Structure 1
């Protein structure tokens, strides 16, 4: 149950659940074990149909609250029951970890709930677990619903948005972080727009996770059909109860490798052809071509010489070799 927050409020209240709540919420050991576990009736009264189906406690950070667990053994043999709290019930301290209940007897086990001073306002569920071995082997889990009072803050951010891979292997990666002091269940909306209009629209849907205060989660979204050649702006938006809202965006540019490689080869071929022509013209000038010697001496080439040079360049092509 403990969560790390900085909230601090005052006041304490201890309340019990209303008797009209659905009795199906009560937890007891299976009928064949013969014993049962449930919240103890008030004022030392015996168990009845109007008993609390679970524990309900309410208090501010720093509050210490008390209650009692009832173990009933209507059988003709003694039963040894071991007790502990669930992982989420770390605020609970039991007066005894093991209780031997005589035949046709009911035992009452006190426990305390200590709310940390930095506890987050809101609901914090836990449970008391009772188990036994031998002929009366069984297990019972009695829910403990604790509500911490105080102002609540719902805040959620989207971070580290990116797109990895292309084609059917494209995946959207992102991180959600709970920046508030309440547990949040986010809803995600995804949209992407390219140069020629929308390329992706995913309506808001609830994600299968609950983020505790200060907790973050690295998540992914499959994108099996991204555009093959486009510049895309991708935006992720998340919302949650209490007004939490966050969004983040990234850019995604997909360029087919074939097109990129073809363009690069064409540029390389053109550059190679130009180099070959220049080398051939230099070698001809050194061998006594009048036009080249005149140009080297500062004379302007004649029209015939310019035409001959142009024809030579056209005849070599981009694939010529020196």
Structure 2
């Protein structure tokens, strides 16, 4: 289910579970890990799960990331910021170090590119978020990441940024299609695209000529510009001559307090023939045979 360009997918490296579907939050200590990260305690709060900011274009702020090393040897880590994206399996991930970021990853600057954390100690790394004057209004996701040299293991904390201005949450349903395989089984496919400037998930409902599909899970949260391909089986469809598939998508907007607000539904339809070719071709052949026999009979009668 492609959500980003091929180049971005190739540049991305999957983060550990702490940066996965559950959200990019502070990494707790776990068996086998060599370091942990948490938000700094300051005017923004203490014991935060992640970073959340509202900032106008041209604005700037400073926060901090605390890195702890419970090991018995000093640990050297790179520190960088990156844009977020949704993976093909619906998880939130961050671009790999060195991949080009266009938003949060480009606007956040750690005070140093790397840090050595003493054994049994911790280090706070300040970072500055500076928005360009022309930053477009809307929601952005990214994160601050730490990683040892030459290792695919990473620890990071999510940044959710709201740039001041009008919020326009919008989803579209694109390329709706209905396929009928016979035996009462139909398939509806479509693409959900985030055409607005807010992070949105989608609640979905699908039917074919009045027959509803089974329960469909909500889509993952999609960043502005991302899309999600969906394929839904619908069983028990009566094979009428023409079938109509109906798709209803309700955008789900999550605010800073994690409250979910459903927005106005978006609908799309698609049609398909309600007969399978495996049944239709013999029927057509039989019909053509009857017509040919009738024409031949008329000709014999006319020649007498």
Query: What band does the TM-score fall into relative to the shorter chain?
Result: 0.5 to 0.7
Cα distance between partner residues in 1 of 2:146 and 2:244:
55
> How far apart, in 1, do the equivalents of 2:214 and 2:193 lie?
21
Which whole-Å CA distance do the structure 2 matches of 1:177 and 1:83 have between them? 33
Corresponding residue SS for 2:284? helix
CA distance in 2, matches of 1:217, 1:133: 34
Superposed, 1:1-322 pairs within 5 Å as 26-28=26-28, 30=30, 36-42=36-42, 51-73=47-69, 77-88=73-84, 89-90=104-105, 91-102=107-118, 106-115=122-131, 117-122=134-139, 124-132=140-148, 140-167=155-182, 170-193=186-209, 198=210, 200-202=211-213, 205-241=216-252, 243-255=263-275, 256-257=279-280, 258-278=282-302, 280-281=303-304
Equivalence for 2:258:
none
CA-to-aligned-CA distance 1:199-230 (integer Å, 9 cap, x gap)? x1247744333333233333222234432343
Q: Could you tell me how far 1:270 is from its partner in structure 2? A: 0.5
Distance 2:165 2:125 in 1: 30
Corresponding residue for residue 11 of structure 2: none
Deviation at 1:266, TM superposition (A): 0.7
Distance 1:70 1:217, change over 3 A: closer
The number of residues matched between the two structures is: 244
- Secondary structure of 2:299 counterpart: helix
Query: Which gives a bigger RCO, structure 1 or 2 (Cα 8 Å, sep 6+)?
Result: 2
Structure that is richer in helix per residue: 1
Alpha-carbon distance, 1:232 to partner: 3.0
TM-score, normalised by the number of residues in structure 1: 0.62
CA distance in 2, matches of 1:187, 1:76: 49
Shift of 1:267: 1.0
**Do the aligned partners of residues 143 and 225 (structure 1) sit closer, same or farther apart at CA in structure 2, a change above 3 Å counting?**
same
Contact 2:180 2:274 in 1 (8 A): no
Counterpart Cα distance in 1 of 2:287 and 2:298: 17
**1:260-294 superposed Cα distances (whole Å, 9 cap, x missing partner):** 3322211111012222333x33xxxxxxxxxxxxx
CA distance in 2 between partners of 1:75 and 1:159 (Å): 51
Paired with 2:72 and 2:274, the residues of 1 have a C-alpha distance of 76
Gap change, CA 1:57 and 1:233, over 3 Å in 2? closer
1:170 CA drift (Å): 3.5
Residue 132 of structure 1 and its aligned partner are, at CA, apart by 4.0
Question: Which stretches in structure 1 are left out of the alignment for 5+ residues?
Answer: 4-24, 44-48, 282-322
CA contact (8 A) 2:135 2:163 kept: no
Gaps in structure 2 of 5+ consecutive residues: 5-24, 85-103, 253-261
